[in-house]
Structure 1
Amino acid sequence: MKTLFAVIVLLAAGLTGCQTNPVSGRSQLVLVSEEQAQASSAQAYAQTVNEAQQKGKLSTDAALNARVKRITDRLIVQAGTMYPPSRSWKWSVAVIDEPTLNAWCMPGGKMAIYTGIITKLKLTDDEIAQVMGHEISHALLGHGRERMSRAMATQGGLQIGSILAGRDLTVLAPVADIALTLPNSRESESEADRYGIELAARAGYDPHAAISLWEKMSQASGNGPPQFLSTHPAPTNRIQALNALVPKMMPIYEKARN
């Protein structure tokens, strides 16, 4: 009886947890509320920034910090147009002095970019806008909540499977991650590419920079791992998809520039 009840609860959660994202129009599994996602993100962000500060890893380069803030401020304004609820988010951006080629944006607008991606790739303002536009789009598209929800559903399914099988199946979590999480993560990455290039164009940043950015990333990463085992689309596939978007984005960019 307990097992049957657990199965019913999990199925009900899957059915009632599906929501249509207001930006993309795609149906998503959402078991975590926006408030929960933002609260956990704010806590994680504060911890990350505090740790970076204690280690002397927060950038003290005033010009670089001002540059990043100027770019992200323009993107945030357009994010409010694309997804009006984001106008009330407590946006914040940290520049972390580490060599990693990375940046991120948590639910609620908590952002960071690492100096490595800027300095190693010698990014232009347009290219930084593509990086941060992509990361901000993850937040606007609810990908953080979706990722949390999928993790919850996967873990719940493994726990129920353990009851049915009479043994612990939670050791299969890495397998479940590859089977379930990664394909959707690639979908999320492609989705963030699509809306990130538009967000940057709306803010007056050249869409062609998305191509040059990923050409630089491809050269720096050596094309990365095989696509089927990566949370990111293969660089060649990514560049091809972005190239197809550039002509559609140019009128938006030109209007913003004028």
Structure 2
Amino acid sequence: MQIKKTLSRASAAALACLLLACASSTKPGVVGITRQQFLMVPAATVEKMALVSYAQQNQKARDDGQLITSGPEYERLERIALRLRQHVEIFREDTRDWKWQLTLIDAPVINATCAPGGKITFYTGIVRKLALTDDEIAAIMGHEIAHALREHGRERISQAYAQNMLTGVALAATNNSNQIALANQFAHYLYTLPNSRQNESEADAVGLELAARAGYDPAAAIGLWKKMAAESGEKSPPQFLSTHPAPATRIDEISALLPKVLPLYQAAHRPEPLPPASEAGAPPPAPAAATAAKRPTRKPK
């Protein structure tokens, strides 16, 4: 009887922990993202391990002579990142404390990420091979930042931890070698495993709103995913698509979101004109379908 009572109390405590771990990591924005998330693993733990993984990535790129820290291509990405960052507090006020960083790696890889805490990584391959406009870069960067804002990586790690998939790995590791091992384990869940369809839809929605508020045409996301679709037709689909669903399935969803975010874009202050393509590392932006729309007389809330 005593054993049953003990087990019952333990089960109740475990259930309480699971219930307390459910919350929405962001405000809804105009796109209305309100889903409750399972966030059992502490945010500080995930950010700490993500920082270790990010530092490893940057060190390897530096050792390989692939780390770009200045020049037109880097400055172009930095300018777009700064504009997007001005609006992240609409979704999360605590982002004012994030130590944002931008990494550009010179490699023919079609990929981009944003680790927890605002650690953005772009590869020159995605910008050059897809000949991205600023609006398209903003769509990708906004999408990746949205994953960090919504803590999708932390959510996946929490789910794995709850299912005992991380058995034998101590979350409170203090030994440096243990931290590296744990960072590698977490990196598998942060970057390697595909996001769920739901997570991708949320990142698309939040990313579109960020881009629109920053003055980048959200309709450019449609052209971007058409480019991605063309790339996915090759024998070896780009790495970016290996962790994202097929482009064709999301274009309709993005189109449905445009009426919500276009007023924000029309009311936003537009970026300054770009330098010539030869100086910026990519072609100048081509206007998307929404560019010709008239500005509203009232600024959206």
Bin the TM-score by the shorter chain: 0.7 to 0.9
Instruction: Please list, as runs of the form range in 1=range in 2, the aligned pairs for 1:11-26 lying within 5 A after superposition.
Output: 11-23=15-27, 24-26=33-35
The 8 Å contact of residues 89 and 95 in structure 2, kept in 1 or not, is answered as: yes
1:215 maps to which residue? 226
Mean CA deviation greater in 127-136 or 215-224:
215-224
The aligned length equals: 233
Question: In structure 2, what is the equivalent of residue 38 of structure 1?
Answer: 47
Distance verdict in 2 for CA 1:40–1:214, change over 3 Å? same
- Whether the 8 Å CA contact 2:26–2:149 is kept in 1: the answer is no
Q: After superposition, what is the alpha-carbon deviation per residue over 1:17-42, rounded to whole angstroms, capped at 9, x for unaligned?
A: 21233323211111111211211111
1:78-227 equivalent positions in 2, closer than 5 A? 78-155=87-164, 185-222=196-233
1-structure distance, mates of 2:228, 2:166:
37
Displacement of 1:54 in angstroms is 0.6
- Name the CA distance, whole Å, in 2 between partners of 1:156 and 1:235: 30
1:255 aligns with 2:296: no
Mapped partners of 2:8, 2:143: distance in 1 = 41
Residue 162 of structure 1 is matched in structure 2 by none
Deviation at 1:100, TM superposition (A): 1.5
Distance in structure 1 (CA, Å) of the matches to 2:9 and 2:224: 47
**Percent of paired sites with the same residue:** 47
User: Which sections of structure 2, spanning at least 5 residues, go unmatched?
Assistant: 28-32, 169-188, 271-301
Q: Is the 8 A contact 1:59 1:97 kept in 2?
A: yes
With structure 1 as the length reference, what TM-score do the two structures score? 0.81
Q: Distance in 2 between matches of 1:61 and 1:22?
A: 33
Closer/same/farther in 2, CA of residues 27 and 119 from structure 1, 3 Å limit: same
Root-mean-square deviation (Å): 2.8
What are the Cα deviations for residues 42-94 of structure 1, in whole angstroms up to 9, with x where unaligned? 11111111111111121266100000000001011111233111011000010
CA drift at 1:208: 1.2
TM-score norm. by structure 2 comes to: 0.70
Residues 160, 166 of structure 2: 8 Å contact kept: no
The residue aligned with 1:170 is: none
Q: 1:239 aligns with which of 233, 246, 251?
A: 251
For 1:136 and 1:249, locate their aligned partners in 2 and report how far apart those are by CA, in whole Å: 17
Q: In 2 relative to 1, CA 101–6 (structure 1 residues): closer, same or farther, beyond 3 Å?
A: farther
Gapped regions of structure 1 (runs ≥ 5): 160-176
Distance 2:37 2:209 in 1: 21
The code of the aligned residue for 1:243 comes to S
Q: Distance in 1 between matches of 2:79 and 2:128?
A: 17
Q: Is the 8 A contact 2:66 2:105 kept in 1?
A: yes
Give the counterpart letter for 2:205 in structure 1.
R
Match of 1:165 in 2: none
Alignment of 1:2-17 (within 5 A): 8=11, 11-17=15-21
**Shift of residue 212, structure 1, vs aligned partner:** 0.6
**1:146: how far off?**
0.5
